[in-house]
Amino acid sequence: MTGLLHDRVVLVSGGTQGVGAAVVRAATAAGAAVAFTGRRGEVGRAIEEDLRTAGADAFFVHADIADPAAAAGSVHATVDRFGRIDCLCNNPGLTTRGTLLDTTPELFDEHIAVNLRAPFFTMQAAVRDMVARRAPGSIVNIISMSQHGGQPYLAPYVAAKAGLAGLTRNAAHAHRFDRIRINGIDIGWTETEGETLIQKRFHDADDSWAERAAGALPMGRLSQPHEIADFVVFLLSDGSGVVTGSVIDWDQQVVGAHD
């Protein structure tokens, strides 16, 4: 992936853990100057220091992008620091459980705020900068295989992620003649520290949950953040050509197929 994002300014929203942190590292390795957001200040600053020590141009923006002003503000901070924004990866994800019957209005609103509203207003600010400069750009939204329907206990999550899939296509269509490409990735079950916490909190899992889960999957393993991150870099780069408005399934299960 070396050089694919040379001289590009990339913002990774939700970049302090899991897939987001992997995208931050992959984008810097690909030659980009990278800004990234997160709510955990100490973690974000440690990642920033680590990347700068390695010679990367990294910039941490301490922000809770569930607040629309903070979401837009992360773009403004990126532009203030680097002069522009060329690429955006929207990665934040809230996966707390809720069914149609037990989801409260408060839980529903939390999912909308993180999984849909935050990407909307981050994209809005990024696209405004690109359009104002009459410059091309590229955006990748991390969505979820669950947006196709998902499990019963993911009702508010599915509602928000399905909305993000639709928003991805709508924005891509609206800005195709601005040469701003917008795509999405429906990621499947991925082994991250956040998923470990979710499995333990909601499913009484132990430390061997990932190994047992992998054994039941077709490829014998879960997806890994670095694999997804490399694909994000490719989609953000000119290497992915004219592709826009695509929501790509990144999984080992085939939607619509049956044994």
CATH value at residue 27: 3.40.50.720
Nearest CA to 222 among 194, 247, 248, 257? 194
DSSP annotation string for 117-165 = IHHHHHHHHHHHHHHHHT--EEEEEE--GGGGS--TTBHHHHHHHHHHH
The answer to whether residue 206 sits within a structural domain is: no
Instruction: Write out the residue range of the structural domain in which residue 36 sits.
Output: 9-188+223-250
The total number of structural domains that make up the chain: 1
Q: Tell me the three state secondary structure of residue 241.
A: coil
The answer to whether residue 255 sits within a structural domain is: no
Distance in angstroms (rounded) separating the CA atoms of residues 230 and 1: 7
The answer to whether residue 80 sits within a structural domain is: yes
Task: Determine the pLDDT at residue 201.
Answer: 78
Give how far Cα 79 sits from Cα of 11, 47, 82, Å. Answer: 10, 20, 5
User: How many residues appear in the chain?
Assistant: 259
Task: Determine the pLDDT at residue 208.
Answer: 80
The answer to whether residue 124 sits within a structural domain is: yes
Give pTM, 2 decimals. 0.93
169, 125 Cβ separation under 8 angstroms: no
| Active site (annotated) includes residue 157 | yes
DSSP annotation string for 4-64 = TTTT-EEEEES-SSHHHHHHHHHHHHTT-EEEEEES-HHHHHHHHHHHHHTT--EEEEE--
In the chain, how long is the greatest CA-to-CA distance? 54
The answer to whether residue 235 sits within a structural domain is: yes
The answer to whether residue 160 sits within a structural domain is: yes
Q: Which of 60, 121, 157, 209 is catalytic?
A: 157
Quick one: the chain helix, strand, coil %, rounded to 5?
Answer: 50, 15, 35
Residue type, 174: A
The answer to whether residue 111 sits within a structural domain is: yes
Q: pLDDT tens for the chain, 259 residues: list them.
A: 569 999 999 999 999 999 999 999 999 999 999 999 999 999 999 999 999 999 999 999 999 999 999 999 999 999 999 999 999 999 988 889 999 999 999 999 999 999 999 999 999 999 999 999 999 999 999 999 999 999 999 999 999 999 999 999 999 999 999 999 999 999 987 877 777 777 777 787 788 887 888 888 888 998 899 999 999 999 999 999 999 999 999 999 999 898 8
Place of tokens 């399934």: 249
The answer to whether residue 256 sits within a structural domain is: no
